[in-house]
Amino acid sequence: ANSGSVGESVDYKITGIDPGAGIMKATANALEEYELSDWELIEGSGAAMTASLKKAIDKEEPIVITGWTPHWMFSKFDLKYLEDPKGVYGEAEDIHSIARKGLAEDLPGVYKVLDQFHWTPDEMGVVMSSIQDGTSPEEAAASWVEENADKVAEWTKGAENGNGDKVKLAYVAWDSEIASTNVVAKVLQDLGYKVTLSQVEAGPMWAGVADGSIDAHIAGWLPLTHADQYKKFEGQFEDLGANLEGAKTGLVVPEYMDFDSIEDLK
């Protein structure tokens, strides 16, 4: 297909996710940088995006989505990132754990676990795929924690028990973060903490940690994806560093689409 027909074939629409996601901002930038003024970025959700992706792939129809790694979609479907010669989506990203100020003093055990929490994209992938296969996030997290006791012991090493102390974690309903947040919640519960998970948008997630109404989140995509929030609230949270290395975002299409670069969308 020539490049003109790529746009026509998908009605010049990119299937996006929740408007607060950093990848939406990056994609808006990509439309400008690559001069794709005919194109529209459609808002939705992670779940709606993967449903559209599955529908398209079942019929071998064209689709362009905002995608990211780690994500189960890459093990379920044959997909490729479009090349991004202008580097709009940045280099590899890390996912950081972000704590409210004062957490180390108020809940040192929680702080320690969050500080020690670190895993690989493959480990996260196991939990994500299990959830995708129909296991509830709580159960998928519990199984992973049970089967990875050695790893979990590294995270909880030296951490005080909770004795029923309350902890509030926030997350956004992105598949990667549903997996990670449920795993950390389970680990904290097993240590004796009472954990509340609140599902919010990306803005409130960062704002909540900054104003102290949320104890922590483990969904800080840096240095690029959440750069705006990081800058906006800098000094009002504690960055505990990366809990996962080698994340990535970009525009993603099925392998059967016969072009390879964002430049070909023009």
Alpha helix stretches (DSSP H) within 81-201: 103-106, 108-116, 121-132, 137-147, 149-156, 175-190
Q: Considering the complex, what minimum distance in angstroms separates the CB of residue 105 from ligand PBE?
A: 29
**23 binds ligand PBE per the rule CB under 6 A:** yes
Query: Which among 9, 43, 73, 48 is positioned nearest to 252, based on CA atoms?
Result: 73
Q: Which is nearer to ligand PBE, 84 or 177 (CB)?
A: 177
For residue 103, CA distances in Å to 171, 200, 215, 221 come to 17, 20, 7, 21
Q: Which is nearer to ligand PBE, 93 or 156 (CB)?
A: 93
How far apart, in whole angstroms, are the C-alpha atoms of residue 201 and residue 204?
Answer: 6
For residue 196, CA distances in Å to 133, 155, 210 come to 25, 19, 18
Q: Considering the complex, what minimum distance in angstroms separates the CB of residue 168 from ligand PBE?
A: 20
Q: Which is nearer to ligand PBE, 50 or 116 (CB)?
A: 50
Rg (CA), the chain: 19
**131 binds ligand PBE per the rule CB under 6 A:** no
Q: Which is nearer to ligand PBE, 142 or 173 (CB)?
A: 173
Q: Which of 132, 156, 180, 225 binds ligand PBE (CB under 6 A)?
A: 225
Query: Which residues, 170 to 199, sit near ligand PBE by CB under 6 A?
Result: 174, 176-177
Q: Considering the complex, what minimum distance in angstroms separates the CB of residue 257 from ligand PBE?
A: 21
Question: Encoding tokens for residue 228?
Answer: 């705006």
**49 binds ligand PBE per the rule CB under 6 A:** no
**21 binds ligand PBE per the rule CB under 6 A:** yes
- For 200, other C-beta atoms within 10 Å of its C-beta total 18
Residues forming the site for ligand PBE (CB under 6 A): 17, 21-23, 68, 174, 176-177, 202, 221, 225, 249
